[in-house]
Amino acid sequence: MSVLEIKDLHVSVETDQGTKQILHGVNLTINEGEIHAIMGPNGSGKSTLAYTIAGHPKYTVDSGSILLDGEEVTTMTVDQRARAGLFLAMQYPVEIPGVTVTNFLRTAKTAIDGTAPPIRTWIKDVRESMKQLRMDKSFAERNVNEGFSGGEKKRNEILQLELLKPRFAVLDETDSGLDVDALKIVSEGVNRAKENTGLGLLLIT
């Protein structure tokens, strides 16, 4: 069974006023198949924890460790963490002009798995996931997040989650900005991904 362990994690960030420590000794263990939720006010360090797990260069780990099946994550590059099975659904997904959703997904899947997925089964999987997430076929040829509404961006994040099949996923306020219908679709996608792969989830809200 896979396990993600955060042990006595202290993290700081550089601000205009100098170095500021945001996390002060966080401890958390997430086992495969478990869902953990972190709630708190703005500025309490929720997103800092998410970005630190993913390897954002803005955040400095002062002490402590993040272990994935006993292997130290903090020494890994961002792409190494992704290949190891970590996934971050961002609170504010960025636009990537000139890169279509189709190309982005296939390139990401190839980079993570080390080999390109068979084209016929891959197209079938993408179409099925998009259908379940109520995403129009035209999304596949649009540039990543460019001109997407808030709900469309969040559904695109869950599309990646379903297709890339990580071992552990951090969802940073994926529920924010969604109406009731979109929230239902996104939550169904998260549950579907968990049922299909048994991944561990850290929900930040």
What's the confidence (pLDDT) of residue 92?
A: 86
What's the confidence (pLDDT) of residue 173?
A: 87
**Which residues is 4 bridged to in the sheet?**
30, 68
- Does residue 9 carry a pLDDT above 90? yes
- Strand blocks (E) in 101-189: 143-144, 168-172
What is the rounded CA–CA span in Å between residue 3 and residue 88? 16
pLDDT tens digits, one per residue of 105-146: 999 999 999 999 999 999 999 999 999 999 988 989 999 999
Mean pLDDT of the 36-54 span: 92
pLDDT tens digits, one per residue of 56-107: 999 999 999 999 999 999 999 999 999 999 999 988 888 999 999 999 999 9
What's the confidence (pLDDT) of residue 104?
A: 95
What's the confidence (pLDDT) of residue 125?
A: 93
pLDDT tens digits, one per residue of 171-182: 998 887 788 888
What's the confidence (pLDDT) of residue 76?
A: 96
Starting at the earlier edge strand, list the strands of the sheet with 3-15.
Answer: 18-31, 3-15, 59-68, 71-72
